[in-house]
């Protein structure tokens, strides 16, 4: 599955995101930070990278 997420996120988190249908930075603006934190294989490093990618586009995670 194609993704625009950087490899620095790590393979376990990338797989977890792909399995959840999250393959682009824009996808993460539709979910809460807690929702991705609850995915198996996703840790603080991956969440921080996604947060930074969203911020670079003027976006944030969805509100709780």
Per-residue pLDDT of the chain (64 residues; tens, 9 = 90+): 567 889 899 999 999 999 999 999 999 999 999 999 999 999 999 999 999 999 999 999 999 6
What is the CATH number for 27? 1.10.150
Confirm whether 39 is domain-assigned.
yes
Confirm whether 64 is domain-assigned.
no
Confirm whether 3 is domain-assigned.
no
Residue-range definition of the domain harbouring residue 19: 8-56
Number of domains in the chain: 1
Classify residue 31 by burial, with Cβ atoms within 10 Å: 0-12, 13-18, 19+. Answer: middle
Q: What is the pTM of this model?
A: 0.89
């Amino acid at each position: 599955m194609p993704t625009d997420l950087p490899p620095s996120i790590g393979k376990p988190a990338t797989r977890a995101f792909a399995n959840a249908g999250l393959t682009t930075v824009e996808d993460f603006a539709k979910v809460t930070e807690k929702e991705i934190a609850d995915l198996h294989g996703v840790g603080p490093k991956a969440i921080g990278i996604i947060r930074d990618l969203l911020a670079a586009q003027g976006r944030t995670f969805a509100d709780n």
